Amino acid sequence: MQGIAYTVEGIVRQARHITVPVYQALKLDKLESIVMFNQGLNAIASSRLTGSYLPEQKVHGRDTETDHIIELMTNEMFDGLKVLSIVGNGGLGKTTLAQAVFKDSRIRSHFELQMWICVSDNFDPVRIIHEMLDYFSEDRHKGITNFNKLQEILEENLESKRFLLVLDDVWDIADKWHKLLAPLDCNQAAGSFILVTTRNLSVAQAIDSVDLIRLDALRESDFWLLFKSYACGDEKYHMHRRLEAIGREIAKKLKGYPLAAKTVGALLRKNLTAQHWNRVLRDEEWKSLQNSNGIMPALKLSYDRLPCHLQECFFYCSLFPKGYKFDEAELVQMWISQGFVCTRKPSKRMEETGSEYLADLVNYGFFQYERNVMHYSDTTNGYDGYYVMHDLMHDLACLVSANECVTLDVSEPKEILPGTRHLSIICYSYSCDDPLLVEKIEKILYKVRSVRKLRTLILIGICKGCYLRFFQSIFGEAQRLRLVLLKYVNHCHDGTCADLSASVCNFLNPHHLRYLNLGVPNIGAKPQDMSKYYNLEVLGIGDMVDSSKLSNLVNLRHLIADEKVHSAIAGVGKMTSLQELQNFKVQKTAGFDIAQIKFMNELALLRISQLENVESGKEARQAMLINKTHLNTLSLSWGDSCILNGLSAQAADVLEALQPHQNLKHLQIIGYMGLTSPSWLARNPTVDSLQTLHLQNCREWILFPSMDMLSSLKKLKLVKMLNATEVCIPSLEVLVLNQMPKLEICTSFCTTELASSLRVLVIKSCHSLKDLTLFWDYHNLEVEQSIRFPSLSELTVMDCPRLVWSFPPNRGYPNEVKEMGSFPSLFKLTIYDCPNVTVACPIVNIPYVSIKGSSQALEIYKSDAELELSSAELQMLDDKILAFCNRKHRTIRIRNCPRLISVSFEAFSQLTSLSEMIIEDCPNFLQEHVMSDADNECDAATKRFVLPCLDCLDIRRCGISGKWISQMLSHAHSMFGLHLAHCPNVKLLLIICPLEEEESWSLASSSGLLDAAAVTPEECVFKFPTGVCSSLRSLHISNCPDLLLGQRHGGFAAFKSLQVLEIRRCPRLVSSIFQEQNSHHRLPLSLEELDIDHLPAEVFLGDDDMSSLRTLAIWDSPKLKSLQLHSSCAMSEVPTSRETKWKSSLGSNHVRVGRHLERVEREEEAGLQSLQALTFGNCPNLLHVPVDLHSLPCLEDLTIIDCPAISRLPEKGLPASLQLLWIYKCSEQLNEQCRMAVTEKLEVDIDGNYVNRLQT
């Protein structure tokens, strides 16, 4: 019966596309919605009934949004009725946020009347007005059904009242919004607001919101508190470490959705045990649709309301892994290949309709569009962007597509249902070589009876030779495939990609296939004959195709291949369905003449090169570009031979004859040698839809087109226009001027419009440009206009040595406009190699700033969280420089400032959020002898130097004195990390225990150390404050050869929380730690990792010192003779070797024994019962591996590197638990023994080559 059901479902799905016209004519889509509603949506919708009262006592993670909404609503600048929208997916907390705003005391005192209406899926103005009137009295409106009368009553009741109306959970407004708004707009009171919550972005856009609040997932820290409050009943509940670890793993899977936290919290709260929580984590019960109040039913409610065609498009995307970045064109083409896209108008392309489908799914919240604002793309005429599906939306897609779509992860194979129509196989490098997994997958696929019914086959990840069998045998039966996609398999370099591509081409049935994308470079592959795939609509085949026969693919719409493939297609004119021709090289041979393009009227993108081979305008007219109504992007290019042969007149005739259709949007002209513009681009241009104009290397072109006549122009790019001296700019969004050495003047004839529309400005290598009059020639602007460039997001000025300019510009500006308010949207500022350009005022609101080679001789890089400064001339880091930093910056990096001497402590103290400070390569920074003249002033300043959030300080290659470091840390509330390297003016380290006086310190009794301490200047003493001693977790000290330790009551043992200690190339410091008189309590009891070198001859690390030790690394210790580790049962890593750390694929737990160690004490073996990995590296004098190695019950990895004296394995054998034996640069005798040790369980690698069991 189940098989019959699947068959019927398939027939219905196919019939649906045939009956689309009837379906639409009878308006069955509306009937379907009604049926769906009656079949179950009523029950779910009723559970969504909301009110203004908060069910939770505290709203987590929405303080910023709450304050922003309240500030807008209580702002007196608004007059009349305004609308605010909160948009987000189900379960993100839109209603909770609206409730928090509604109940806030600031809102209650500001509005005379507050009303809350739960709209849900039925936006009925009559019902909504009735519910609004309930806030007054039922007497006047009860029983009234006349809409006009209801409007009149509402207007009377609201007269002169400032009100707040919340419309919660609005799904669709259709054409009813203005009917509701009419009586509300008549209210004379200023400052009334409507707050709308909706899942649908198009709703928020249609109601003309003054602001749109897009809710995202909660931040990790806020979500954890919310999760704890639901799971444990209190956000302050103290969990056991194991329970917390499981809880955090569950919380990570919920991706910041508050409703998910509530759903899962209810499951976890039943039993606060690790066993129960592990079961919930394993079974992922929150994904169930059974709980009507859970996250999945809330998301599925949105899915159920989608039209059928959007449901298909959505669930098809479950074939791709979580986090996959969808390209719009690729995704739409896949939908088309499956028949999901149906266009209503014959003149409208399916690609356009598919793009509308994707836009609808974005509006409904199923996809999110991500724009890479850091990278502007010339090829796409905008910022690179992609679409992503939230992880929970992906889970929903997997749920609703389970009967048709299967994603097979080779690391976790699962059974495939008989009804599967679409299959994707995901294999990454960590699993693709596992023969057991390959065998398991083969067995699963052999059991599938529906292989021959597959419509989709997708392979994502590394493709190795082991998978060839899948395609050659199993999927040879899949004769109904419509789509085959190999994604990211180009990462393989073993030649199997080429074999795979050939195999795919051999087994595929050409009759049904519509989409084939092999997506590989196919190095070494033989060109494939694709001429038999005559029904193909999309072909992506790299460069392994026989181009001579491609012209037979008359139905091909998209060819995804190298440009050289496009340019090598003889007789391409037969491919009349093709929409992109990346490079048509005009040649004087048959099949490559420009007349080939004549009947290719479906082209949307066309690039023609080698136009010097077109001899006349008459020949050029044969291309008939003017008839190509779909042509969106056109590139016309001449080669260098045109320049050498002086063919300017011929080029002008050809360009004139290549007049495109008026619908053209993007035009690129390269290498044109004419003097003037063609008539269709001149005074009365016919391309009035043109949005992008790119002129490059047109050396003689001086008189540019009349750009003021190009009313739709948004982007202008001029590159290598060598003779241009003046440019007049129209209103644009993007302006790029690059390599224009004679350009002197850049003006605009519509400055007001340009100021408001410009988004990206890039000026590079314009060596004669002196002024940017674009920024100050504003004679017609009103003084009171305070925002000049409201849309500018990227500004780049590079290699303009004569440009005299300040940012923000101050010439001709009124005083009140010289603030950064002139550039409120500026996201990225780059100024390079412009010595006469100055940055005149703070730019704290710009997230990304990079400045170098300007008049300040200062390089600046600034992101949202980090500020980096570098300068060869800077001497004082004062408030003018620190003005580039805002109070939200968490990291400041000062590097490569050789002349930097001092810093404004008072300015630094304003950085209240600063948590990390990194100072590198500043040899004169805060040296005591340099600062001595200002001691009194600086001492007073440092008392005000308070960085309450500072938890990490990193100082490298600096002349800073120990005294100054002490002063900088004296006000730190707590510190987690400290790193000192190459600090020659730090000579004595004092660790002050919490209860001891500073004067009570002493050195070890060694006379040499005492003599050194006696002559240590006070300014070279670094005193650890008490607060730092109790909170520090990580301490790294390196390359301080003169540094000594002054200690009392345990020295480093004073660090009660220290977990990681690294001391490298500080021999005197290590020597002062390991003194005979101080053999106990030298190290903190909390220490987990110790990385140290230059140990003395004998070292004893006892129980008191190393009870928590997990990792011990000992490097470069020429004096070390004996290392004793007593009962260090917690220890899992004991390395000793040279400077270079050997890195391998081993686990995280290692023991390493180094070059100068002569023997391994028996005590070491006794404390290594938990050891998982053991490494001996660079030990030329080590003769034997420990005899009792077999007694280590947990050892899995044994590595021996560069130990030529070891000739054999232990006589008692290897541990039964051993899985990997890695030998490198060792004796041949040891190599031979290791070859003999290979078993089915034990893998052996000798000098980088695995030993095959058959070889032994």
Can you state the angle between helices 177-185 and 125-133, rounded to 10 degrees? 30
- Would you say 70 and 197 are in contact if contact means Cβ atoms under 8 Å apart? no
Provide the H-helix boundaries in 822-934. Answer: 879-882, 905-908, 928-931
Could you tell me if residue 60 is inside a domain? yes
pLDDT of residue 672: 92
Structure token digits, residue 201: 């972005």
Beta strand spans in 488-530 (E)? 515-517
What is the separation of C-alpha 698 from the centre of its chain, rounded to a whole number of angstroms? 39
Going by pLDDT thresholds of 50, 70 and 90, the confidence category of residue 11 is low
pLDDT in tens, 727-775: 888 889 999 999 999 998 888 878 778 888 899 999 999 999 988 776 6
pLDDT of residue 670: 95
Instruction: Judge whether residue 933 has pLDDT over 60.
Output: no
pLDDT > 90 fraction of the chain, expressed in percent and rounded: 19
Q: What secondary structure letter does DSSP report for 1171?
A: -
Going by pLDDT thresholds of 50, 70 and 90, the confidence category of residue 209 is confident
Most confidently modeled range among 196-210, 992-1006, 1031-1045, 1211-1225: 1031-1045
Sign of CA dihedral 944, 947, 951, 952: negative
> What value, to the nearest 5°, has the Cα angle with vertex 325 and ends 322 and 329?
135
Instruction: Judge whether residue 826 has pLDDT over 90.
Output: no
Which of residues 166, 188, 214 is at a domain's end? Answer: 214
CATH number of the domain within which 134 lies: 3.40.50.300
Could you tell me if residue 979 is inside a domain? yes
Q: Report how far residue 606's alpha carbon sits from residue 738's, in angstroms, rounded to the nearest whole number.
A: 24
Instruction: Judge whether residue 631 has pLDDT over 90.
Output: yes
- Would you say 1155 and 1178 are in contact if contact means Cβ atoms under 8 Å apart? yes
- Would you say 256 and 218 are in contact if contact means Cβ atoms under 8 Å apart? yes
Q: Report how far residue 252's alpha carbon sits from residue 229's, in angstroms, rounded to the nearest whole number.
A: 16
- Of 1068 and 1194, the one with more pLDDT: 1068
pLDDT of residue 748: 82
Q: How many CB atoms lie under 10 A from the CB of residue 436?
A: 7
Alpha carbon distances (Å) from 671 to 610, 647, 719, 722: 10, 11, 11, 12
Could you tell me if residue 414 is inside a domain? no
H/E element, 754: helix 751-757
pLDDT of residue 282: 81
Could you tell me if residue 370 is inside a domain? no
Q: What secondary structure letter does DSSP report for 1145?
A: S
Q: Is 1064 helix (H, G, I), strand (E, B) or coil?
A: strand
Q: What is the pTM of this model?
A: 0.68
Q: How many CB atoms lie under 10 A from the CB of residue 944?
A: 11
Residues 91 and 120 in one domain: yes
What is the separation of C-alpha 846 from the centre of its chain, rounded to a whole number of angstroms? 19
Mean pLDDT of the 1048-1066 span? 79
Most confidently modeled range among 195-204, 659-668, 1117-1126: 659-668
pLDDT of residue 121: 74
Instruction: Judge whether residue 478 has pLDDT over 80.
Output: no
Residues 1093 and 973 in one domain: no
Which of residues 186, 214, 242 is at a domain's end? Answer: 214
Q: Report how far residue 22's alpha carbon sits from residue 595's, in angstroms, rounded to the nearest whole number.
A: 42
Q: Report how far residue 1236's alpha carbon sits from residue 1256's, in angstroms, rounded to the nearest whole number.
A: 6
pLDDT in tens, 523-556: 455 667 788 888 999 998 877 677 878 888 999 9
pLDDT of residue 681: 87
Instruction: Judge whether residue 582 has pLDDT over 90.
Output: yes
Nearest by Cα to 1158 from 1179, 1172, 1144, 1173: 1179
Instruction: Judge whether residue 967 has pLDDT over 50.
Output: yes
Going by pLDDT thresholds of 50, 70 and 90, the confidence category of residue 38 is very low
Sign of CA dihedral 774, 780, 786, 789: negative
SS3 content of the chain, % helix, strand, coil (to 5): 35, 20, 45
Mean pLDDT of the 138-160 span? 80
pLDDT of residue 277: 86
- Would you say 579 and 554 are in contact if contact means Cβ atoms under 8 Å apart? no
> What is the Cβ-side half-sphere exposure of residue 571, based on CA atoms within 13 angstroms?
8
Q: Lowest-confidence range among 180-194, 349-363, 955-969?
A: 180-194
Residues 1093 and 1072 in one domain: no
Instruction: Judge whether residue 841 has pLDDT over 70.
Output: no
Q: Lowest-confidence range among 361-370, 1045-1054, 1167-1176?
A: 1167-1176
Could you tell me if residue 1127 is inside a domain? yes
Q: How many CB atoms lie under 10 A from the CB of residue 270?
A: 10
Could you tell me if residue 821 is inside a domain? no
Residue located via tokens 């290699």: 799
Q: How many CB atoms lie under 10 A from the CB of residue 1042?
A: 16
> What is the Cβ-side half-sphere exposure of residue 189, based on CA atoms within 13 angstroms?
19
Residues 1006 and 1146 in one domain: no
- Would you say 781 and 752 are in contact if contact means Cβ atoms under 8 Å apart? yes
pLDDT of residue 786: 41
Domain count along the chain:
4
Q: Lowest-confidence range among 192-206, 310-324, 452-466, 955-969?
A: 452-466
Mean pLDDT of the 215-220 span? 86
Q: Report how far residue 13's alpha carbon sits from residue 222's, in angstroms, rounded to the nearest whole number.
A: 45
H/E element, 211: strand 211-214
- Of 374 and 692, the one with more pLDDT: 692
pLDDT of residue 312: 93
pLDDT of residue 1139: 35
Nearest by Cα to 203 from 296, 90, 84: 84
Residues 239 and 152 in one domain: no
pLDDT of residue 18: 52
Nearest by Cα to 830 from 857, 799, 801: 799
Q: Report how far residue 17's alpha carbon sits from residue 33's, in angstroms, rounded to the nearest whole number.
A: 18
Q: Phi-psi region for residue 1039, left (φ > 0), alpha (ψ -120 to 50) or beta?
A: left
Going by pLDDT thresholds of 50, 70 and 90, the confidence category of residue 1170 is low
Mean pLDDT of the 175-191 span? 80
Residues 159 and 249 in one domain: no
Could you tell me if residue 243 is inside a domain? yes
Nearest by Cα to 606 from 551, 660, 552, 674: 660
pLDDT of residue 911: 72
pLDDT in tens, 601-619: 999 999 999 999 999 999 9
Mean pLDDT of the 451-467 span? 74
Instruction: Judge whether residue 1180 has pLDDT over 50.
Output: yes
Residues 192 and 66 in one domain: yes
- Of 1186 and 12, the one with more pLDDT: 1186
Nearest by Cα to 255 from 282, 285, 217: 217
Sign of CA dihedral 389, 394, 400, 402: positive
Residues 284 and 178 in one domain: no
pLDDT of residue 1099: 63
Write out 164-207 in H/E/C secondary structure.
Answer: EEEEEEECCCCCCHHHHHHHHHCCCCCCEEEEEEECCHHHHHHC
Instruction: Judge whether residue 1016 has pLDDT over 90.
Output: no
pLDDT of residue 459: 84
Residues 1063 and 1155 in one domain: no
pLDDT in tens, 1153-1163: 444 444 444 33
Residues 1238 and 1109 in one domain: yes
Residues 97 and 55 in one domain: yes
pLDDT of residue 789: 81
Q: Lowest-confidence range among 378-392, 658-672, 860-874?
A: 378-392
Q: Report how far residue 1189's alpha carbon sits from residue 1165's, in angstroms, rounded to the nearest whole number.
A: 8
Q: Report how far residue 116's alpha carbon sits from residue 131's, in angstroms, rounded to the nearest whole number.
A: 9
- Would you say 285 and 267 are in contact if contact means Cβ atoms under 8 Å apart? yes
Residues 1101 and 1054 in one domain: no
Paired residues of 1250 in beta bridges: 1245
Could you tell me if residue 21 is inside a domain? no
Structure token digits, residue 359: 């836009």
pLDDT of residue 1025: 77
Backbone φ, ψ for residue 642 (5° rounding): -65, -35
Q: Report how far residue 267's alpha carbon sits from residue 763's, in angstroms, rounded to the nearest whole number.
A: 59
Q: Phi-psi region for residue 197, left (φ > 0), alpha (ψ -120 to 50) or beta?
A: beta
Q: Is 942 helix (H, G, I), strand (E, B) or coil?
A: helix
H/E element, 116: strand 113-118
Structure token digits, residue 1099: 């070292």
Q: Which domain holds residue 52?
A: 45-214
Return mean pLDDT, the chain. Answer: 76
Residue located via tokens 């609201």: 158
- Would you say 1088 and 1060 are in contact if contact means Cβ atoms under 8 Å apart? yes
Mean pLDDT of the 239-244 span? 78
Instruction: Judge whether residue 1069 has pLDDT over 70.
Output: yes
Instruction: Judge whether residue 329 has pLDDT over 90.
Output: yes
Going by pLDDT thresholds of 50, 70 and 90, the confidence category of residue 340 is very high
Which of residues 298, 324, 342 is at a domain's end? Answer: 298
pLDDT of residue 1256: 54
Going by pLDDT thresholds of 50, 70 and 90, the confidence category of residue 918 is very high
pLDDT of residue 604: 95
Helices and strands, counts by H and E, the chain: 39, 54
Q: Report which residue type is found at 215.
A: L
Q: Report how far residue 868's alpha carbon sits from residue 919's, in angstroms, rounded to the nearest whole number.
A: 10
